[in-house]
């Protein structure tokens, strides 16, 4: 069943008439770096959405016109924003995306350290009260 699903997926993405194997590899690498605007987390290379098919054709046409990878990416970013890039650039609008996980991790570590310190302080006061001077008898 998995073999049939893979075969159906392979037939859904139509082959392009590449001039050379190097051009085909460049196309594959470029389409793996770009996100399908319709699909949440699929590359253009993997998506079967109609817009992904159109964008693959557009990328192929831009490659035939002699555009560089960077020019193709700039064209797509101008049209679909930085969302189309799987590796968004580091700029003020993406700082939270880049550093957010680290901030959450550091915040969680700070909470754990504070909880451990409170627990240790609580243990110190209870042991002092329990050991006392023995006059309670």
pLDDT in tens, 10-41: 445 566 777 778 888 999 999 998 988 888 78
Say if residues 55 and 16 touch (Cβ distance below 8 Å). no
Ordered by start, the domain boundaries in the chain are: 12-89, 90-128
Mean pLDDT, rounded, for 100-117: 92
pLDDT in tens, 118-136: 988 876 555 555 555 555 5
What class does CATH assign to 12-89? mainly alpha
pLDDT at 103 over 60: yes
Local confidence band at 105 (pLDDT 50, 70, 90 cut-offs): very high
| Torsion angles phi and psi, residue 3, rounded to 5 | -65, -40
Tokens of 119: 């627990």
In this prediction, residue 21 carries a pLDDT of 87
- Residues 114-135 as b/e (b if ≥16 CB within 10 A, e otherwise) read eeeeeeeeeeeeeeeeeeeeee
């Amino acid at each position: 069943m998995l073999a049939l699903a893979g075969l159906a997926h392979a037939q859904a993405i139509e082959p392009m008439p590449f001039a050379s194997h190097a051009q085909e590899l460049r196309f594959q690498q470029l389409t793996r770096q770009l996100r399908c605007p319709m699909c949440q987390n699929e590359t253009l290379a993997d998506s079967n959405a109609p817009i992904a098919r159109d964008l693959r054709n557009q990328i192929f046409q831009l490659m035939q016109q002699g555009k560089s990878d960077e020019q193709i990416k700039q064209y797509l970013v101008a049209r679909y924003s930085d969302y189309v890039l799987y590796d968004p650039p580091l700029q003020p609008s993406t700082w939270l995306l880049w550093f957010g996980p680290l901030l959450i991790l550091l915040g969680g570590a700070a909470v754990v350290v504070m909880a451990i310190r409170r627990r240790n302080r609580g243990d110190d006061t209870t042991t002092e009260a329990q050991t006392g001077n023995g006059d309670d008898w």
